Structure formats: C-alpha cells, structure tokens
Structure 1
Amino acid sequence: MKEVTFKSFSPPLEGLGEAPTFTKIILMKKKLFWVLIPFFLFSFSSLRADEGMWTLYNLPQAVFNQMKSEGFALPYGALYNNNDAIKNSVVSFSGYCSGVVVSPDGLVFTNHHCGFEAIRSHSTVEHDYMLNGFVAKNYAEELPNKDMFVSFMINQKDITADVMRLGFEAMGRKKQNALLDSLQNAYTSEAKKQDSSYHVDIDAFYEGNRYYATTYQDFTDLRLVFAVPKSMGKFGGDTDNWMWPRQTCDFSVFRIYANKDNRPAPYSKDNVPYRPKHWAPVSLQGYKEGDFAMTMGYPGSTSRYLSSYGIRERRDALNAPRAQVRGVKQRIMAQHMRADEAVRIKYDSKFAQSSNYWKNSIGMNKCIDSIGLIAQKQHYETLIRAWQDSTGYLKGQLDFGEMARFYADRFEARKALMYFNETFLRTNELTDRALKAIKTTSKDKKGRYIKFDDNRKQWDAALDKEVQVALLKNYRAHVEAKYLPAFYQTIDKKCHGDYERYVDHLWETSALMTNGKRVYVTKQTIKKDAGLQYGEQLNAMREQFNRMLNATRDSIDEQERLLCAAKLRMEEDMPHYSDANFTMRLSYGQVEGITLGGHSTYYTTAESLVEKMKRGDNGVFDYKAEPVMHRLMDATSFGPYADKTTGKLQLCFLTNNDITGGNSGSPIFNGKGQLIGLAFDGNWDSLSSDINFDKRLARCIGVDIRYVLYMIDKWGHADHLLREINAQ
C-alpha cells in the first residue's frame, strides 16, 4: 500500500470494523495521554480516506494539494474564484437535484430521475413522453415547466461572528430562527444592491457551530429539451436501484431561458436561451481506473457527526418504519399502475420518489449492522470522553449520560411519528386536502375557507382509496393506542371496524372532494363534514406529537452540537468538512472499481445491457426495453463514442467520490475540469454513507457522458444539440 495522506480527517475509528485491541498515543494541545481502543487503527500517514463534501470558497490548502497530487491539473482559482470557475457551470436543479450547464446557450444536463416530474407532467396517453421519450427539434418545441428552476451560487462567506455577536447562543430556538430570518433578509437586501436578482440563504454548518451566507441567482424559465424513454432513463428500476453493475441511461436535458437582457425572468414566449458566464467542456476522451475524478453539486443531507444514540434512532425509529409503510403502499400502487396506462402516468413520479428511499432505508440499516457502526461510534465517544476528562473542554456541558437519556425519552414517540408521517402525509388526495383545509385557509365574511382546483389528472380515486384503507390498518397495527387519532373510534363504533366503509364515506360525502368551490372550515362545518373531522383529528394528533418531542428536541440538538464542537477541537490541526445541507460541495477521488466475483469492475458496456434486456424479454419487468434499444446497443461500431482503449461503448462507471441524495445530476469532472459523466446513484454496500463514509465500500455511480451523447445522436437524431455541445 503506497503511502498517502489523509484527505479529510474524520474519526479514524469509523468504517474499520472489529479488530484486536491496540494502544494509541494521542498528542493534543501539548498533553500526552494513552487511550485503549478495541479497534485496529492505521496511522494518519498511511491511511487514505477519499472522503469529503468540501465547501469551495474556503477549500483547505492541504485538501487542494492532495487533489493536485492525484491529478487535478488546474489552479486553485479555477474551482471558485475566476469568472470561468468550474462552479459557475454547476447548478442546483429545482432545489432537489444538481445539474451542469454544457453549452453557450444555457443547455443543462441533469439525471432522468431529476427531470421525472417534468417529463410526466407533459405526458398523456396520446403523447406519453415518459414511455416514449421526448426530443425538441428546435427552441419552439422546448416545453416550459411550472415551479421548476435552477440556482447559480454567486458566492459564500462565513458569518458566524455576526450571528454570535447578537447573542445567538443564549436564545431559544424560536428567537434563533427569527434572528436568522432577519439576518437573511438584511443580507439579501444588501445583495440586491449589487444585483436585483440575487438572494441570500443562511445555513447552519458543523451542527450549528458555524453559519454561512450564500448568495444565489435563480432562473425560473426552465424548459424540457430531451428525454430518453423511461425504459432507458430508469433502466433496472427498483431491481437495480442502489446496485452495481448498472446500465441506466440516467440523464435528461433542459434549457435555461432569460429575458432579452440575459436576466432571470418568469416564463414568457419572448424569453431567449440564457448565455452563461461559463459552461462545462464535454470530453469524449474517457477515463481509466485510477484517474482523477471530481464531483461538484448540491448534496442534500448527511449526518457524519451524529452520535451513537442518534444512529440507533435513525435505524430503529426512522428507517425501519419508513421501509415498512412504503412497502405496503408501493405494492398497491404497482398493481394499479400495471393495470392501467393512465394511472401509471399519474403515479410514475410518486412511485419513484417513494421507492427510492424505501430501498435506501433498508440498505442503510443493513450497512449499519454489517459494519458495526453503532459500536464504532460508541468507541469514538469513549475517546472523546477521555480527551474531555484530560482537557476539561466543555466539561459540564457535553454530557453523554444526558444525551442517552434524552434520546431514550423520545424514542417511542419519534418512531410513532414516523409511522404517522409515512401513513398520512402525501399518500392519498383526500388526506392531503383534509390537512390543507385545517392548516391553510383564506377568510371572508362567512369564515375561513379553502378552494381546490380540479387536479384529477394527478390522482386516481380507486388507487388512493385502497392505499388509504391499507395504511389506516397498518398504522394501527404498529403504534400504541395513545398515538391513534380520534377517528379510529369512529371506525370501530360507527363502521364496526370496516375500514373500507369509513374511507368510502369520507370520499363520497366530504366537501373536500369538490373542485372549484369554497369549502368553509368552521366549527359548524367540521361537525357536519367527516372529511374535515378527519383532518382536524389528524392535525390534533400531529400537534400532540410536537408537544411530546419538543420537550427533548432542543436538548438533543444542543448535545449533538457540542459533540461536534468537541471533535473539531480535539482534531483542530486537521481539516474537516461540514455535513451536507444542500449547499454546493466538491468531492474528489479516483475512478475506482469494486470487487465482484473475484475481480474488480469499474465500468459496464453495451453488451451487459443487451444481456439484461434479454432477461426483460423473458419476464423481468425492470429490464424491458423497446426493440430499437436492442438494436442500438447491439451495434458493431459506436463511432466516436466508443472508448479508445476498449473499443466498447461504456455505459456507467464507478468512482470513490463522496455522494448522497441531492448529488443526483452532479457533473463528474476529470483533472482538466472536463465533463466525463453525471452522478446518479451510490452502491448498496455504501448506504450507511449518510452517517458514515467507508472508502472500502462507498462508490459513486455515474452515467458515462459518451453514453449520453450516443443516445442524443443515434436515438434522438438531435444533431443540433450535438453541435451546440461540441464535445471534444
């Protein structure tokens, strides 16, 4: 093993598993003490951890030096500071994914699953773009999308001193939130003096120990340009999700539009393609194992500093209930979707969103147990306690006994709340309307009211009712009686335990299911309307959960903040990255395979896709594809898209970059800052990476940009896009 240096300096215990007792000498702040740790620890000089979700404006020089040593060939300023900095081509895609600008006319690549809802919303049975794909032959055919946008990060800075100077630490949660909102408004006002289209977000970093202000510019006219058929964009479905090897052609193409002055503007037929400051050069040169690889995007959420108590709660009170409830819901959805094309179009996006973190939760729990993560965290906490005893740092504040008690006190309520949320939030149209009616109303002389638009194109009554019945039964089977909303008494007494009868009554009699008319929400109407009663009783239960959990929420958050602060101080001579919070981050590493069946594999080819398609022909639903796809993948020559070394069309590849939700659509760059792929998934063995990174297991799965271009060319025949992208 060659000698290398740490890239980030997370606790050396994480991700190493059980091993013999070892005596480690730790020198910190000129104090020498010995700690017995029942894990084998490599020395800092010989352990390499390709880990990190680094902010760009303050990227540690040591980290950049490591990037250079591994093959990054551009200067420091090329990442963030220059007008043509790489970060200027990277966007937040609609607040839930990432994307990259690839042309001087505002063309954006992201994942197919990130564009899923846009593709679905334009689909009908007659023009099913989800099933058959979509190609705009010119600007006029590009399709506008409601409530979609891209955000460019303009700059970022640390404002912790400003926040703390105002007495932030001594405030309660509500006052802290109010202060942050006030500061955010003040910073936004200042930014708008520079450019009226700017706005500023303030986010917590390092578990609330630091606060950064980030300036953004949003473009809200975003149009669909190109989408492959779902058979390719989601090839493998749930069977292959979070798995390797992959052959998924997970990309879609959008275009940013601006006004005639190249400024952000709402949708207008007069808008024109946006001319960006910088766009990513697209490479046809490929990669080989060991090559430098870098992702840049907007990872959503990690909890790498989380305590052992928090990880146990995540496993047992959050992940397990989520997986259980979604499994029940998805079985019913799948039956209805396969029976009716119109229903499938309505629910494609909803099913994909649900199933993604259903499988993630299952995989994360498996990984937590298989690598003994809770025990690893417990041993690391023992190390921190020993350091705390030696130095006195945060003595009387960071208290592991108190932390354990707080978590234990809220465990059952937190678990029941997860069952509640997964059962009643965003699972059927009537429940959605019932909760909105109670919480979101207007007012006139007659009282509070709400009016629902006719959105029947988005849901199916038969599917929703069957899901509602199943989940009502399932909820009762998994929570204590004290967590049951009052309408369960109605089911027992008035419906004699008949859940279907109760649900039919709600749908058939409630004014909630009328469209375009005002539904008044008053004491009198609630008494008369079963749907409004249902919503009120759900809301009452939700408020009860909030009261139960508020008693410990602030205390747990404070203990987790102090735990992070202790780690940062104990390892203050080492650079640390903050947990992901959907701000722009850089991750770097190498193209690197993973051992399967005794040999290492880091890419897949067209031949492997053809083999899976044959299984689709023999009944494996997730591997079905159109005949044209068989022909395209079975070609004898792939022209400029073939790898120059293997001569094959390479489809997907692996890197050891750090990835989590929100990274979907993140560009993968080579050492020259050229685009070689789009990140779209992680592998099954790394699903605990949101709370622990393990280089041996963690891989980022990307779609090869040559596969993307091949489909644009040979399936889409979109020569105008190829000329615009101008891949080299």
Structure 2
Amino acid sequence: MQMKNWLLTSFLLIAVINTSYTNFDEGMFPLSDLSRANLKEAGLKISEKDIYNPGGIGLVDALVQVGGCSGSFISRHGLIITNHHCAFSAVQLASTPEHDYLTHGFVAQTRAQEIEAKGLTIRITIGYEDVSSKVLDAVIDINDPIERINIINNQQKLIAQEAERQDPNIKAEVSEMFIGKSYILFKYQMIEDVRLVYVPRRTIGEFGGETDNWIWPRHTGDFSFFRAYVGKDGKPAKFSKDNIPFRPKKHLKINTKGVNENDFVFILGYPGRTFRHRPAQYIQYQQEFLLPYIADLYDFQNRTMKDVGAGDRAMAINLATRIQRNANVMKNYQGKMKGLTTLNLLKHKQQEDQALATFINKMPSLQKKYSNLMPAIDSVYKEIFKEAKRELWLTQIHSASNLLNVARSLNTFKKSLTEIAIKENHWQKNMPKLTGYINDLYGSYEQSVDIIILARMLKDAYNLPRDQRVEAVDELFKNRTDFNNIARSIINSSKLGDKNNVDKMLTNMDSLIVFHDPILHLQQQIEQQISSLKTEQDRREGLLNKLMGDYVAVREQFLQKDFIPDANSTLRLTYGYIKGYSPVDATYMAPFTTIAGIIQKGNTGLPEFSYPAAIRDAWEAKNFGSFVKPNLQDVPVNILYDMDTTGGNSGSPIMNAKGELIGVNFDRTYDATINDYAWNESYSRSIGVDIRYVLWTAEKIDHADFILEEIAR
C-alpha cells in the first residue's frame, strides 16, 4: 500500500511539474524500434516491411546521407533530391565570378554537363547490429573513469575495424544510442563521386535569407538535385569521366497530388543530435555557457565577414558557406535560448530530478544501487561549469582563425611523421587528404577577416577568469591589450598567409619537418594546453558515461516507460500530420504557403525577398500546370507538420501514407529549435518544400527538362 501511495504521489508531482512543459513521447524511431511507432494506427497505408525489410528491399534503401544532410533517390539512375542549403558548399566550390552558380543556379541538360560536387560523399545504411555487450563487457570490472572511457572508445573502433576487415567494401561505425548503456554497429555503402545536377538560383533556394530562417510562414525553394556515380564495376570510385550512374535498390515514387491539412506523413532521415535524456545540469550548461557564447561569437564573425566581403564579389563567394553555416547555428541557438526561457525548462528539469532523487531514496532496492547517483552527477557538472569558459574558447579558436586551423593540420601531420616508423608510406598515403583539407581552408581565407576575428578571440581569452587562463595567449599580452595590433602582428609575421608557401613546403617531406613559423609555434602551445586538460576531460567523460547509463535506467523505472534513444546521425523514422499551429495568442498559422506569398514578400522591397521575374509572370498568367492545389488556386510552396525533426533531417523526404514523396524537409519553426532538448506537439513544427513547387520551378522557371523527363519515367 505504501508503494502504491508513493507511485501515485510521484506521478502527481510530475503532472504538476509539466503544467507548461509536457514531455510527450519522442518520435525519432530507430529501425529496430519501428514496431513501437504504431504506424498503422497512426495512418500508414503500407506495411512496415515496405519501409524496412531486412534481407529484402524497403523505402530505407532509397535513403542517403549526403554531407551532414539527408536525401533520397528518385530515379533508377542515382538521381538524388535534397536541400539547396545542403548543396551550398559544393556550389560555392564550383563557383567563380565568371560562373557564379551560387547566384544564378545550375541546370544540367545532359549527364555530360553534370559537374563534380567537391567535398561531398554519400553513404547508404545497409545493416546494423547491437554490439552493446561487446562494448560494455570490456569495462565490467573497470572503475577508473579514464580507463573506462578509453576502453569503450577503443572497443567501438575495434568493432568497426573488424567489420570493415570482413567486408572491405563498406564503412562501419559504432554509434552510442544511450550513453554508457547501448551501442549499435552500423554498416554503410559509400559513394565518393557525387555530381551537381540542378540547383535553383539563390533567390529561389534561399528566398527570405536570414530574415525568414527558422520562421513560418516560409516561401523558400530549398531543394537541389545530385547524382551518385560509381566505377564501371559498381564499386565506389573517385570522380572520373568514366564512372557510371549508381543503380540504387530502391527509389521513391513522386506524388504530384500532394497532401491536405491533417493528412498522415512520415520522414526517413539522419537527424543529428538531441539531448532529451540528460539531467538538469546539462540544460544549465547549455543555457548559461554554450548557447550564449557561440551565438554571440558567430554573430560577430558574420558581421565581420559581411563587412569585408561587401565590395568584392569573389571574396563574398569564398566566405558565403562559412557565413551561411554560422548564421544557421547562431539563429538556432538564439531560438533555443528563447525556448529554454519560455518553457522554463531548466526549472522543470530540476524539479523532475528532485522527484527522481526522492523516488530512489524511497525504494530500498534502488537506494542501495543508486543512492549516490544524483549527487555524483551534480559533482561532475560543478567541475564542468568551473572550466566551461576556457574550454569553450579552446573548442572555438581553430574554427575562428583559418590560419590557426591550417597550423593545426600541419602540426598534427608533422607530429605523426615523427611517430610513424615508415615515414614515406605515411606521407604518400595521407598527403592527399591533408592538402584537400588545407585547400578548403584557404578557399574561405581572407587575411583581414582572420585578423579581426583573432583579435576578438584574444580579447575573450584576456577576459577569462584567473583560474581559467590560456597560457599561450597570456604570453602574447605582456601588459598589452591592443588586441587588433597583436592579431595583425601574428598573422603578418607568418608565412602561412601565402598559400604558395604552404604548397611549396608540402612538396617535400623534409621541408615540412623542418618548417617553422610563428603561427605554428602559437598553435603548438595552444595544443599543448588542450592536451594537458584532456586527462581531466576524459575523467569527467568516463564518470558521466557510467552515471548517464544509470540515470536513464532509473528514470525509465520512475516514469514507467522505455525511452527512444536520442538522435545521433543514424537512420530514423518520425511521423505526424500536416498541421498548422498557434505560436502566440489569437493567431493561427495555416500549414501551406503559396506563390502569392512570394509576390507579397517581394513587394516589401527587402533584398532577401527578391525573386526571379519569371515567377511573377507565371503566377499572373495562372500558369500553374498540374501543380495547382485546387482549394488554394495556387501552387503550394512550403508545408508545415508536427513531425519530430532536428539538424541532419535537412533534405529528408516527406512521404504520404503510401510512402510516396510529397516534399522535402528543410527547417523547423523558431519555437521548435528547442526540439533538441524537449519535443511538444503544441509548438514543435517542421517545414518542408512541397514537391509541387519543386517540379513547378523546374518546369516553368528553370526549364530543367532533362531532369523532369528522368523523374517521369
């Protein structure tokens, strides 16, 4: 009787805690958990085996991961649809002031016209295996946290290496599903030759710019088309004119009739990271340290790059990808900060953890095993908070300065040469990868930008607390606080500012080994401090690995449910319904936008709402073809739905109840940026581009006839 009363009290407490924040069931289902999704009851009209059929063929075989995005095959000849912003870096690398594909778009009318999508690879999930016991059995008797985390990490690598040894044609990775609790070996087929086929002009693919980013209503044609190529033997191969289109096991059928409000829809894709099964202290770290620092830093970087590139188109092209990535993260983090405050999530998490601690202490069997769990978690996070500012600075310094990033690559490679017995073999094997990475860094390098941003980082380091100093940077100050002059002096004195010097040096192994430079020296000193702090970081990570496994286990008992693992860039399914919402009082946001909205926004005169004149001409002529939505008497542009998505779901195919493609996911609403920590049906909305607008644009605006004919076959 006492136990029943305690459980009733616990559930009542959780109900009180969640009056403004309701922790609905998460919806990112791994392939192994599809049976838990109740898809048939939700509205699916095909069988689960039509989606995932081990040993057979299912919709998952049409899914790809391209870069950090998702995508899907839509023809038997390896044609892939994903987002415009997922193609952005490849388009930038292919662009010049003379051939500015970023601005004007790119349309291939034959396969021979398709161009290399540099820097992009594709991987396809071909199998998975639970290897939790193989990983965790190795640390059963290990109490030292550093040794524990090192063994776990090593076991994951060894298991993946063994899988690749058994099948050299695959890429294998062991992914942690629950920290310290479950691990899955995923096997991937890799495709290295990826080509641009069709990318709309920027005024379509990025319509609304940063003003509309993470905002609804939205009118963005965020789509692009790639093609996957392989060698004539069907195996992955580097880019070559002799390669042939990849033949996927499955490609998606396109449904041009679209969907209506409240229709069932689902997504397959590779969502990046969510953090829903973490304690209150994790939310506190995000809210007080990581989110505000990164958002402010990226805002500063982007303002700097935009100012410097304003009068130079070639420079603006070089900086475009970095600006776009920063802006996306910055606004995402700003949205998360707003969401954390609006939901008061930290307070609710703290109350839930307090209730969990009481639950443990009220049950003798749990008290014996977990009595120190919550205090131990709190103790580790106090240590994390104490080091947070310096550690954040150290994680950002190399991405802030391209030259320091170049220096890190060179120093790391130099060090590896001193540790490898057969240096020449190591040189020959790894030089192409090193030069490729460095070339990418110089592709977005601008000296004046590096100076200004490095000066900002020096100022941030100067203002760190006394017990969190960066020793290498302190050496630079010596009673000086003229950060801009210090940064200018560092960069101007370096030979790394001229890529030709680096190219010459990398032609000879001995030249690299004896090469010295002020920035190489500074980076080496910074790296030494990073290395010296790593032991303590590994200790904390090892402690949390064990503690988080216990935390999830006892929390599942407390809430009497089995959790869905947090997203971790592995293939997932989420489902929901085409649905509008009311983000603020007395408003309702409908779930479809139309071309009329593009015209309306264009009338504001703001540059981010510029669009091709051909769109207005076609709209005024009611030249909608077969892509009109009857009840709107217009072409639907973007759609809104309540599916559970996060970063990495960009490019995911939106499918109807029959598994047919009706759109491409590309964003969330501003309120839904909080999804990474908590999902709620009332405010979590995702945004996709309607396939009818994709095809209408391809036919009426860009005349991408070659692609349309292929899709129609």
- Shared fold (TM-score, shorter chain, > 0.5): yes
Name the structure 2 match of 1:407. 381
Matched letter for residue 242 of structure 1: W
SS at match of 2:676: coil
Q: CA deviation at 1:459?
A: 2.0
Asked if 2 retains the 8 angstrom alpha-carbon contact of 1:225 and 1:253, the reply is: yes
**Structure 1, residues 550-580: CA drift from partner, whole Å, max 9, x if none?**
44332233222211121234455x4431000
Q: CA deviation at 1:382?
A: 2.9
**Structure 1, residues 622-668: CA drift from partner, whole Å, max 9, x if none?**
22334334434544231111113322111111111001111110111
Q: CA deviation at 1:264?
A: 2.6
Name the structure 2 match of 1:56. 31
Name the structure 2 match of 1:591. 578
State which of 487, 506, 509 in structure 2 corresponds to 1:503.
Answer: 487
Larger mean Cα displacement after TM superposition, 670-679 or 639-648? 639-648
Counterpart CA distance in 1 for 2:23 and 2:399 is 43
Asked if 2 retains the 8 angstrom alpha-carbon contact of 1:321 and 1:419, the reply is: no
Name the structure 2 match of 1:631. 617
Specify every segment of 5 or more residues in structure 1 that has no aligned partner in the other structure, as ranges. 1-23
Asked if 2 retains the 8 angstrom alpha-carbon contact of 1:613 and 1:624, the reply is: yes
Q: CA deviation at 1:181?
A: 1.4
Larger mean Cα displacement after TM superposition, 502-511 or 696-705? 502-511
Asked if 2 retains the 8 angstrom alpha-carbon contact of 1:384 and 1:567, the reply is: yes
Q: Does 1:724 align with 2:710?
A: yes
Counterpart CA distance in 2 for 1:674 and 1:557 is 41
Q: CA deviation at 1:157?
A: 2.5
**Structure 1, residues 489-523: CA drift from partner, whole Å, max 9, x if none?**
33445xx4333332333233223332323288999
Asked if 2 retains the 8 angstrom alpha-carbon contact of 1:594 and 1:600, the reply is: yes
Name the structure 2 match of 1:285. 257
SS at match of 2:387: helix
Name the structure 1 match of 2:42. 70
Q: CA deviation at 1:669?
A: 0.6
SS at match of 1:288: coil
Matched letter for residue 667 of structure 2: D
Residues 1:186 and 1:533: Cα distance change in structure 2 (over 3 Å): closer
Residues 1:525 and 1:216: Cα distance change in structure 2 (over 3 Å): closer
Name the structure 1 match of 2:593. 604
**Structure 1, residues 243-279: CA drift from partner, whole Å, max 9, x if none?**
1111111111000112234333222211111121110
Asked if 2 retains the 8 angstrom alpha-carbon contact of 1:323 and 1:361, the reply is: yes
Q: Does 1:428 align with 2:401?
A: yes
Counterpart CA distance in 1 for 2:133 and 2:652 is 32
Paired residues for 1:383-394 under 5 Å:
383-389=355-361, 390=363, 392-393=365-366
Q: Does 1:549 align with 2:537?
A: yes
Asked if 1 retains the 8 angstrom alpha-carbon contact of 2:132 and 2:182, the reply is: yes
Larger mean Cα displacement after TM superposition, 152-161 or 380-389? 380-389
State which of 385, 392, 413 in structure 2 corresponds to 1:440.
Answer: 413
State which of 523, 526, 538 in structure 2 corresponds to 1:538.
Answer: 526
Asked if 2 retains the 8 angstrom alpha-carbon contact of 1:54 and 1:587, the reply is: yes
**Structure 1, residues 592-622: CA drift from partner, whole Å, max 9, x if none?**
111265234111111111111122x3xx232
Asked if 2 retains the 8 angstrom alpha-carbon contact of 1:437 and 1:521, the reply is: no
Name the structure 1 match of 2:564. 577
Counterpart CA distance in 2 for 1:583 and 1:670 is 22
Q: CA deviation at 1:41?
A: 6.2
Q: CA deviation at 1:549?
A: 3.1
State which of 330, 333, 340 in structure 1 corresponds to 2:302.
Answer: 330
SS at match of 1:146: coil
**Structure 1, residues 116-173: CA drift from partner, whole Å, max 9, x if none?**
1011100000000000000011001101133321111112222223334444573611
Q: CA deviation at 1:478?
A: 5.2
Asked if 2 retains the 8 angstrom alpha-carbon contact of 1:285 and 1:644, the reply is: no
Name the structure 2 match of 1:218. 190
Residues 1:103 and 1:26: Cα distance change in structure 2 (over 3 Å): farther
Asked if 2 retains the 8 angstrom alpha-carbon contact of 1:438 and 1:539, the reply is: no
Q: CA deviation at 1:38?
A: 4.8
Asked if 2 retains the 8 angstrom alpha-carbon contact of 1:407 and 1:556, the reply is: no
Larger mean Cα displacement after TM superposition, 302-311 or 541-550? 541-550
* Structure that is richer in helix per residue: 2
Counterpart CA distance in 1 for 2:53 and 2:591 is 33
Asked if 2 retains the 8 angstrom alpha-carbon contact of 1:659 and 1:700, the reply is: yes
State which of 212, 217, 231 in structure 1 corresponds to 2:203.
Answer: 231
State which of 102, 114, 118 in structure 2 corresponds to 1:142.
Answer: 114
The share of aligned pairs that are identical, in percent, is: 26
Matched letter for residue 599 of structure 1: Y
State which of 154, 166, 175 in structure 2 corresponds to 1:178.
Answer: 154
Asked if 2 retains the 8 angstrom alpha-carbon contact of 1:294 and 1:586, the reply is: yes
Paired residues for 1:416-565 under 5 Å:
416-422=390-396, 424-441=397-414, 443=417, 456-477=442-463, 479-480=465-466, 482-492=468-478, 496-513=480-497, 514-518=501-505, 529-565=517-553
Counterpart CA distance in 2 for 1:566 and 1:169 is 21
State which of 64, 70, 87 in structure 2 corresponds to 1:91.
Answer: 64
State which of 34, 38, 42 in structure 1 corresponds to 2:9.
Answer: 34
What's the C-alpha RMSD, in Å, of the aligned pairs?
3.0
Matched letter for residue 71 of structure 1: G
Counterpart CA distance in 1 for 2:120 and 2:620 is 37
Q: CA deviation at 1:719?
A: 1.6
Asked if 2 retains the 8 angstrom alpha-carbon contact of 1:51 and 1:658, the reply is: yes
**Structure 1, residues 460-506: CA drift from partner, whole Å, max 9, x if none?**
2222222222332244335547423434433445xx43333323332
**Structure 1, residues 377-404: CA drift from partner, whole Å, max 9, x if none?**
1222233223323252374445211211
Matched letter for residue 711 of structure 1: T
Name the structure 2 match of 1:680. 666
Counterpart CA distance in 2 for 1:42 and 1:377 is 9
Matched letter for residue 543 of structure 2: S
